[in-house]
Structure 1
Amino acid sequence: MNHKLKREHGFIHIPCHELDIFILSDGYFGVGYHQPILAPDIPQNMVKNELRNLYLSESYYEAPINVMLIKKAGRIILIDTGEGFYDEENAGQLLHSLSAAGFTPESVTDILITHAHRDHIGGILSKNGEIVFPNAQYYISRPEFEFWMAGEPDFQKSKNPEGGKPSIPLVRKTLSAIGSRLTTFETGDFLFSCIQTQTAPGHTPGHIIYSVINGDLSIINVVDVFHSPLLIAKPDWGTQWDTDFEAGIETRKKVLENCYQNRTLICSAHLPWPGIGYISKVNDQFQWIPKVYNHPFLINLATDLEIVT
């Protein structure tokens, strides 16, 4: 039996005092079997056993692309732009989800780039090289910009040093195209009076995670710190997608522990849709706990979320 599901566009809405937060679906990506992308150095029988324990597929790995949007007064702030036209079979659904949520590309005022991998910047330009969000200003951390644009990016600390090189022309073309609209910030900066950025190196040198804060409510988006519940349960197994494999492990463990200790509500770019939940521990092993939805139309961030698909 084929258990694959076609990911259609959709969104969820999270009211947060004066802010409205939306999680938009860009679709998903699939890479076949988990290894060697995930857990590259771990014996296959151990990986399959852990996948079984987590009720994850033992034969293929698919992950959603979850994109956050924040509506704040006169600003529409999009965090990353999904795959765009690079994977039109499974992904590239962001504009459809944006429309379903009541927005247009022209209405987006600001785009925060968490890091410059294709599934996060692929939607900036159309297939014809035109800017998709014509009225937006763009923001990227200085370390991330310099890694890709100054000199030759170094992937030697990755488990797949050649794997990152094909991305270089795409990143440079995209960032150059928006150069006049692109502002760099320092990791740790507070943006738009509601987004606290935080350094989370390893996946890329300038990869950030961020907290959306409004009054006593907040949600932290861990972006690409972990791509699967497998890397929550086994954070030191790592992924070839990390530019610095060991730094990625260190960051992953630190973020997991902080989220667990503080009972933080988190969102993720690639955990199972819609990627919102908590980090728990069972027998000293971290565990992903999805957010409970008691009613599909109850719209209180402190309890449940309004789901629209």
Structure 2
Amino acid sequence: MADVTVDQVGRLRRPAGIRSIRLGDVKVSYVPDGDVRLRPLDLLQDSTDEVWAAHPEYLDAAGHLVGSVGALLVEHGDRALLIDAGFGPQAHEAPDGPLATIHGGALADGLAELGRSPEDIEAVAFTHLHADHLGWACLPAPGGDRPVFSRADYLISEPEWDRRDLLVEQGMAEQVAALARRVRTVTDGEEVFPGVRVRITPGHTVGHAEYVITGGGRRLIAFGDAVHSPIQIDHPDWSSGFDHDLARTADRRRRRLVAELAEPGTIGFGVHFADVVFGHVRQDGDGPAWRPVDA
């Protein structure tokens, strides 16, 4: 397994704050909403106690894998797109399974710090329809009944929206109803914003989507939950306990994604990657490794 730098050790144990990079005329910023703590052996069931004992830099004092919860702001001139919508002003604790704790609530403050308000967002493009990505899009603005993103369309891949019955079965009928009034489905390869194209990559969910952002001779791949932790870059065969189709995410997606992220001029965005959300893959030591990119 590739070595981890001293700087990364501290960053892997804390959720990310605001971080921005430029791709030519496009500015992309991670907007934090909160954090998530995950049980490593339940999340990555092919990992072992020995792996985590050898890599304590990923774990907090309670032995949980530290992750970020938030969204990606994409700005082109006066226009603004948001990819995903955080978890929202709520918290949840689970007694067992991959999820230990999750909380959100900071997204609006992060947008304000970046000089944006929710009303500036022309569309929210979802990677998939899990609660930690829907968050603020399903809630009214504080003190009223208007949507938080009052001007935004909700962009969802066709196969993901076609199977919204799966959400209803999971007790998320209210979220589906809140989304339905604003949904515009998108197809593979469609340009949804200047320099931003969707590609549909089933596996984590039935219609999981990634967004490829190009500008200034570089590209950024916002890969959603195709990968949950940087340690999976070293082990692309390790699927997540949240994945809908374990084989597809490992064999047909993560291996290809890791290879793509090693290509020149390519940056990845991992929304749950602790404080290393922007990075690229470099072959260091015994295998591929995630290296943060912050400028």
Q: Distance in 2 between matches of 1:43 and 1:7?
A: 24
Q: How far apart are 1:66 and its partner, in Å?
A: 3.9
Equivalent-residue separation in structure 1 for 2:284 and 2:117 (angstroms): 43
Worse-matched range after superposition: 123-132 or 263-272? 123-132
CA distance in structure 2 between the aligned counterparts of 1:167 and 1:105, rounded to whole angstroms: 30
Partner in structure 1 of residue 209 of structure 2: 208
Query: How large is the RMSD of aligned CA atoms in angstroms?
Result: 2.7
CA shift at 1:42, angstroms? 4.0
Letter in 1 for 2:31: L
Q: Secondary structure at the match of 1:197?
A: strand
Query: Is residue 117 from structure 1 mapped to residue 123 from structure 2 by the alignment?
Result: no
Match of 1:277 in 2: 279
Q: Deviation at 1:218?
A: 2.4
Which AA in structure 2 matches 1:277?
G
Residues 210 and 222, structure 1, Cα contact 8 Å, conserved in 2: yes
Aligned-pair CA distance for 1:176: 2.1
Query: Deviation of residue 130 (structure 1)?
Result: 5.1
Q: 1:6 to 1:16 in 2, by over 3 A?
A: closer
Gap runs ≥5 in structure 1 = 154-164, 294-304
What is the distance in 1 between the residues matched to 2:71 and 2:137? Answer: 13
Q: Residue 34 in 1 paired to residue 47 in 2?
A: no
Q: Indicate yes or no: 2:62 matched with 1:77.
A: no
Contact residue 80 and residue 112 of structure 1 kept, 8 A: yes
The CA deviation at 1:138 is 1.1
Partner of 2:32: 25
The aligned amino acid for 1:260 is A
Are residues 1:126 and 2:162 paired? no
CA distance in 1, matches of 2:151, 2:248: 36
Give 1:274 shift. 4.5
Q: After the TM superposition, which residues 198-237 of structure 1 pair with which residues of structure 2 at under 5 Å, given as runs?
A: 198-237=199-238
CA offsets, 1:134-181, max 9 Å, x none? 1111110001111223xxx3xxxxxxxxxxx787332x4223223232
Residue 6 of structure 1 deviates from its aligned partner by: 7.5
What is the CA distance between 1:189 and its match in structure 2? 1.5
Taking a change above 3 Å as real, the CA distance of residues 126 and 199 of structure 1, as seen in their structure-2 partners, is: closer
Structure 1, residues 100-148: CA drift from partner, whole Å, max 9, x if none? 1111112211111110011100111337875211111111000111122
CA–CA separation in structure 2 for the residues paired with 1:194 and 1:15: 12
TM-score (norm 2): 0.81
Q: Percent identity?
A: 24
Counterpart in 1 of 2:19?
12
Residue 75 of structure 1 deviates from its aligned partner by: 2.2
2:87/2:103 contact within 8 Å kept: no
- In structure 2, the partner of 1:160 is none
Change (3 A) 1:275 1:7: closer
The answer to whether the aligner puts 1:98 opposite 2:111 as a matched pair is yes
Q: Number of matched residues? A: 270
Partner of 1:108: 121
Q: TM-score, normalised by structure 1?
A: 0.78
- How far off is 1:44 after superposition? 2.6
CA change 1:123–1:274 in 2 (3 A) is: farther
Q: Equivalent residue for 1:264?
A: 266
Question: Given the superposition, is the C-alpha separation of residues 4 and 71 from structure 1 closer, same or farther in structure 2, using an over 3 Å criterion?
Answer: closer
Distance 2:128 2:221 in 1: 16
Q: Which runs of 5 or more residues in structure 2 are unaligned?
A: 1-10, 93-101
Which amino acid counterpart does residue 51 of structure 1 have in structure 2? H
Q: Which structure dedicates a bigger proportion of its chain to strand?
A: 2
The alpha carbon displacement at 1:255 in A equals: 0.5
Shift of 1:234: 1.3
CA deviation string 1:225-274 (max 9, x = no partner):
11112211112121111011111112111110122244521111111225
Give the 3 Å change call, closer, same or farther, for CA 20–229 of structure 1 in structure 2. closer
In structure 1, distance between residues paired with 2:230 and 2:42: 16
CA shift in 2, pair 1:189/1:134, >3 Å: same
CA distance in 2, matches of 1:265, 1:226: 14
Q: How does 1:151-190 map to 2 (within 5 A)?
A: 153=166, 168-170=170-172, 172-190=173-191
C-alpha separation in 1, matches of 2:18 and 2:187 = 30
